[in-house]
Homo-oligomer: A and B are copies of this chain.
Amino acid sequence: MSVLIVGSTALDYIKTPHAENPKLLGGSASHAAVAASFFSPVKLVGVVGKDFPRKYISLYKRHKVDLTGLQIQEGKTFHWSGEYEVNMNHRRTLLTELGVFEKFTPHLPEAYKESPFVLLANIAPALQHHVLDQMKTPKFVVADTMDLWLNIAKNELVSLIKRVDGFVLNDSEAHQLTECDNVFAALRKIHKMGPKYVIIKKGSHGSILSSAAGYFICPAYPLHNVKDPTGAGDSFVGGMMGYLATARGGIDANIRRAMIYGSVTASFCCEGFGLKKTTTIKRAHIEQRVKELERLTRF
Interface residues of A (CB under 8 A from B): 86-88, 181-185, 188, 202, 204-206, 208, 214-219, 222-226, 256-257, 259-260, 294-299
Q: Could you jot down 6 A-B contacts, CB within 8 Å? A: A184-B224, A202-B205, A206-B217, A214-B295, A217-B219, A260-B299
Q: Which 8 A-B pairs have the closest CB atoms?
A: A205-B205, A87-B181, A256-B299, A217-B219, A184-B224, A184-B222, A217-B296, A257-B299
Question: What CA separation (Å) do A86 and B296 show in the bound complex?
Answer: 33
Quick one: given A181-B88, A205-B205, are A215 and B222 in contact (CB under 8 Å)? Answer: yes
Shortest C-beta distance, A219 to chain B (Å), equals 5
* Of B182, B188, B256, B296, the contact of A298 (CB 8 Å cutoff): B256
Q: Which residue of B lies closest to A209 (CB)?
A: B296
Which has the most chain B C-beta neighbours within 10 Å: A188, A208, A259, A296?
A296
Whether A296 touches B219, Cβ cut-off 8 Å, given contacts A182-B224, A202-B205, A226-B182, is: no
CB closest chain-B residue, reference A188: B224
Q: Looking at the complex, which one of B88, B217, B299 makes contact with A222 (CB distance below 8 Å)?
A: B217
* A292 → B minimal CB distance (Å): 9
A299 CA / B206 CA spacing, docked (Å): 14
- B257 x A225 contact (CB < 8 A): no
A205: B residues at CB distance < 8 A? 202, 205-206
The CA of A217 and the CA of B202, in the complex, are separated in Å by: 15
Shortest Cβ distance from A258 into B: residue: B299
Other A-B contacts than A88-B181, A184-B223, 5 sampled, CB-CB below 8 A, are: A184-B222, A208-B222, A215-B222, A256-B299, A294-B299
Q: How many angstroms between the C-alpha atoms of A225 and B180 in the bound complex?
A: 11
For the complex, give the distance between the alpha carbons of A182 and B283 in Å: 27
- The docked-state distance in angstroms from the alpha carbon of A223 to that of B296 is 23
In the complex, chain B residues whose CB is within 8 Å of the CB of A202: 205
CB-CB under 8 A from A219, the residues of chain B are 217, 219, 297
A215 to B184, CA, bound (A): 26
Contacts of A214 in B (CB 8 A): 295-296
B215 & A296 in contact (Cβ 8 Å cutoff): yes
Task: Report B-chain residues with C-beta under 8 Å of the C-beta of A87.
Answer: 181
> B residues within 8 A CB of A260?
299
Beta-carbon contact of B296 and A297 below 8 Å: no
